[in-house]
Amino acid sequence: MNQDRHRIGVITEGSLVEGLKAKLDPSASVEEMRAGQFVVIQGQRHEFFSLITDVALGATNSRVLQDPPEGDDFAAQVLAGTSTFGRLAVQPMLMLPRSLDEGHLQPVRTVPSHFSPVHQAQEGDFVRVFGQDTISGQARIGKKKFFEMGRPLDMEVPVCVNLERFVVRSNGIFGKSGTGKSFLARLLLCGVIRASAAVNLIFDMHSEYGHDAVTEAGGFVKGLRQLFPGQVLIYSLDPDSSRRRGVPVDAALTLGLNQIDADDIVLLQDELNLTSTAAESSFLLVSEYKDRWMEELLKMDAESLRAFAETRSGHTGALAALQRKLRRVEGLGFTVPSAPISAIDELIECLEQGKHIVLEFGSYHDVLSYVLVANVITRRIHARWVNKTQRYLQSKDPKDRPPQLVITIEEAHKFLNPQAARQTIFGTIAREMRKYYATLMVIDQRPSGIDSEVLSQIGTRVTALLNDDKDIDAVFTGVSGATQLRSVLAGLDERQQALILGYAVPMPVVIRTRPFDEAFYAAIGQPDGETRRQQVYHDIDDLFG
């Protein structure tokens, strides 16, 4: 047991399923207890690392409550701790062996005995559970890739995520508008880049990841390109807009109508206000004209539409409606009648070489542009990564293994709603691409709009404040102990607080998110020569065990 821990109470009742109840000691102030705080219960054989889920008041005699000592502070103090007391609802999250040498963290399968003492968790407990940051700061040593995301609400102790576990499954960042989702994503991306845990492709709808971004307070923070020069490339659909902001652009990207597939149009059905019949008419055109289907459709007059419908068993009105709606796509400033696939292939080759790419949309921050471009590019990446994985499985040569890829998308419910998720590339990646070394990081303020099957595949969830009950229920899809965690999530502040749960952390944890400031820039910056040598040595250790 850690002798520095401060005792605050004892366990009085509870169960494995419903959680435990603790009575506060007279010396512990109920007003200092918070939902989301951590405590350690000292059992006879194990220590239980636990989360406070509720704070309540209790009394041994109801008559005391019927005749309270109003205005009599001395009487209130006499009653406190004896007739009246504070109570905590405590949810055990992990079992820790009493000795550091006895074993590892274990899931909770039992409960401590009556009157087991409850202590405030200390820094050593957090290091034991969440690991120690090996990415930030000057040390940057150790085989494990742990990265500090923030600190507990009432403690100055780092809480880390395991980046190696984070990148191998799709992840979600959720929260209502204004709660700092993009800054949470930026923190995680910095950690992933700094640790070389994965290569990143970020579809940057509002141009806030690559270069300077505005904070809620009106200040500016650095972007990924500024923090990692030489490692992060910026592509842009609107290079003039990027240059006006002083952003250096590595490549401009255009999209040819010949690169758009019928599946892309089905995904855009709501944005284009198409009926299902009109959207599915695109498949008739693809079967006839292949990649020239949109160009040929846009050239057709009324008579040509009627003739095509008659010969292909289509519907003239649906084809005409599809033609009218696709004029919007033709009119987008970054689309051209025909474009070589080489520009997208060059982007993919940069990813294969370990470069991280931010694709800025500039003035094209409408959902139509965002969904269209993201789907076209990701569909091609999917095909490349599947081929590379199959080649690697055949050759077993490490040089053939594709790099771990994380694709970041905003407005995720547009790609992953129940209708789209079953037939688009993003649904395929969320469900199956872990085995092909590609995952998603989805950012959304409406998780209830995402297909439940996809949500169940989300490995790690970083959630800021949500108000809508449907969204809260969606975040906890497939999560055990959701009832207790709901109250914790509801108690978050609107800014700089988040609940992290899932595959990259050993247990759910509420944090004050790490500030994105000069201290962070210094901690995440390039290592000096000695630190670089240490990293090389540890990389060698990883290779040879």
Taking only the tens place, the pLDDT of each residue in 259-271 is 999 988 888 888 8
Q: Which two tokens stand for residue 481?
A: 């102990």
Sign of CA dihedral 327, 332, 333, 336: negative
Task: Round the average pLDDT of the chain to a whole number and report it.
Answer: 87
Per-residue pLDDT band for 71 (boundaries 50, 70, 90) equals: low
- Separation between Cα atoms, residue 221 and residue 214, nearest integer Å: 7
- The reported pLDDT for the residue numbered 270 is 86
Assign residue 401 a region (left: φ > 0; alpha: ψ between -120 and 50; beta: otherwise).
Answer: beta
Q: Distances from the Cα of 444 to the Cαs of 171, 274, 414, 453, in angstroms?
A: 11, 24, 10, 16
- Contact (CB, 8 A) for 33 and 109: no
**What one-character-per-residue DSSP string does 517-534 give?**
SHHHHHHHS---HHHHHH
pLDDT digits (tens, 9 = 90+) for 184-198: 999 999 999 999 999
On whether the CB atoms of residues 409 and 374 are closer than 8 A, the answer is: yes
Q: How confident is residue 326, by pLDDT bands cut at 50, 70 and 90? A: very high
Question: What CA–CA distance (Å, rounded) separates 19 from 6?
Answer: 22
Q: How far is 177 from 445, CA to CA, in rounded Å? A: 6
Q: From its phi and psi, is residue 175 left (phi > 0), alpha (psi between -120 and 50) or beta? A: left
Mean pLDDT of 147-169: 92
Element (H, E) at 88: strand 84-97
Q: What gap in Å lies between CA 110 and CA 11, rounded to an integer?
A: 14
Measured CA to CA in angstroms, residue 178 lies from 183, 399, 528 at distances of: 10, 43, 37
Stronger pLDDT, 123 or 70, i.e. the higher one? 123
| pLDDT over 80 (residue 331) | yes
pLDDT at 154: 79
> Using CB atoms within 10 A of its CB, is residue 295 exposed (0-12), middle (13-18) or buried (19+)?
middle
Distance of CA 506 to the CA centre of its chain: 16
Contact 51, 153 (CB under 8 A): no
Residue 337, both tokens: 């009648």
Please count the other Cβ atoms lying within 10 Å of the Cβ belonging to residue 296.
Answer: 15
Average pLDDT for residues 323-333, to the nearest whole number? 94
Tell me the whole-structure pTM to 2 decimals: 0.85
292 residue type, one letter? R
The percent of residues above 70 in pLDDT, for the chain, comes to: 89
Identity of the amino acid at 279: A
- Please name the residue that has the structure tokens 């019928």: 262
Percentage of residues in the chain with pLDDT exceeding 90? 58
Q: Which range among 20-34, 318-332, 411-425 shows the weakest confidence by mean pLDDT?
A: 411-425
Sign of CA dihedral 374, 376, 382, 387: negative
Give the Cβ contact number of residue 291 at 10 Å. Answer: 15
Nearest to 359 by CA among 368, 370, 367, 349: 370
Fold of 161-243+350-375+401-516: Rossmann fold (3.40.50)
Domains in the chain: boundaries: 7-130, 161-243+350-375+401-516, 257-330
Q: Which of 440, 436, 437 is nearest to 426 (CA)?
A: 440
Determine the pLDDT at residue 414. Answer: 87
Does residue 180 register a pLDDT over 70? yes
Higher pLDDT, 78 or 295: 295
